[in-house]
Amino acid sequence: MTDLRKQFGSVVALDGVTWEAEAGRVTAVLGPNGAGKTTMVECCEGLQRPDSGTVRVLGADPWNAPAEHRACVGVMLQDGGLPNAARPVALLRHLSQLYAAPRPVDALAAQLGIDRFAQTTVRRLSGGQRQRVALAAALVGAPDVVFLDEPSAGLDPHARLDVWDLVRSVASEGAAVVLTTHSFEEAERIADEIVIVAEGRVVADGSLAEITSGRSLEHVYFDLTRRSAR
């Protein structure tokens, strides 16, 4: 992503953003609410078209990218995007049919504990259960690149560990994982690379060790974003 800009009316969401994510690594994007994280990720998913600058995902422009490209990219939206009347495992099985070589649905569902509420409709799931189904939906196509918008928000500690294990294993299988988060613990535990965003700009970008240089991520974050958080 190079010099990306995006404006909604008079609000500047992205103001010249540049960063990149590597295969086999987890990149965590941190930043206050309204900093532009979701807009940035949505530009990568082809859901928003930047005003200027370039985005390349697997070498392709995600805006109007063909099905073949979309099949290599897994997406977990912040609002889930799950049809209300569907049942989790049936939904995952359906989504898996959109791919030529999907992950085995039963194993994925078991790994995230989705099998325990397989027969409950999405409408009746708790927030945390829904998060897990949305994460599974992003991974079911065995993607090369995964974008996860706050994957562990609202999860209990056990579920969070399950999600972290799964995210790490997806990266170790070679996928590039990009996730947005508000949790320093999450970033410190599973991220290889950190991108900190504030007011539509990247204020820090590098490996966890480079960015923190001995201090805690929390300290660094507040130093860098204090002005925008007020």
Partner 1 sequence: MSTTTSSRAATVPRRVAAQARFETLTMLRNGEQLLVAVVLPAMVLAGLVATSFVPLGPGRRVDLAVPGVLALCVISSAFTGVAIQTGFDRRYGVLRLLGASPLGRSGLLAAKAVAVLCVVALQFAVIGGLGLALGWEPQWTGIPAALVSALLGTWAFVALALLLAGTVRAEGVLALANLVWVLLLAMGGVVVASSELPGTLGPIVELLPSGALGDSLRAALLHGQVRVGEWLVMLVWAVAASVLASRLFRWSD
9 lies in the site for partner 1, by CB under 8 A: no
193 lies in the site for partner 1, by CB under 8 A: no
Q: Which is nearer to partner 1, 98 or 107 (CB)?
A: 98
Q: Which stretch binds partner 1 (CB under 8 A): 57-65, 103-111, 197-205, 215-223?
A: 57-65
The interface with partner 1 within residues 26-55 (CB under 8 A) comprises 45-47
Residue choice 5, 25, 69, 189 for contact with partner 1 (CB under 8 A): 69
CB of 81 to partner 1, least distance (A): 3
Residue choice 12, 18, 34, 86 for contact with partner 1 (CB under 8 A): 86
Helix (H) or strand (E) holding 187: helix 184-190
Give, as one character, the DSSP assignment of residue 174: T
Task: Determine the Cα–Cα distance for residues 158 and 113; give it in Å rounded to an integer.
Answer: 10
Q: Which stretch binds partner 1 (CB under 8 A): 2-10, 78-86, 111-119, 197-205?
A: 78-86
Q: Which stretch binds partner 1 (CB under 8 A): 32-40, 60-68, 181-189, 205-213?
A: 60-68
Task: Determine the Cα–Cα distance for residues 204 and 92; give it in Å rounded to an integer.
Answer: 36
Residue choice 68, 157, 158, 214 for contact with partner 1 (CB under 8 A): 68
153 lies in the site for partner 1, by CB under 8 A: no
Give, as one character, the DSSP assignment of residue 199: T
Residue choice 72, 153, 159, 229 for contact with partner 1 (CB under 8 A): 72
Q: Phi, psi at residue 74, to the nearest 5°?
A: -95, 140
CB of 209 to partner 1, least distance (A): 24
Task: Determine the Cα–Cα distance for residues 194 and 28; give it in Å rounded to an integer.
Answer: 5
Residue choice 6, 70, 132, 160 for contact with partner 1 (CB under 8 A): 70
Q: In what order do the strands lie in the sheet with 52-54?
A: 11-17, 2-8, 52-54
The interface with partner 1 within residues 103-132 (CB under 8 A) comprises none
100 lies in the site for partner 1, by CB under 8 A: yes
Burial of 78 (0-12, 13-18, 19+ CB in 10 A): middle
First to last CA, the chain: 28
Task: Determine the Cα–Cα distance for residues 128 and 203; give it in Å rounded to an integer.
Answer: 31
Strand partners, 5: 15, 52
Strand partners, 198: 201
Write out the residues near partner 1 by the rule CB under 8 A.
23, 45-47, 58-60, 67-73, 75, 77, 79-86, 94-95, 97-101, 137, 141, 144-145, 176
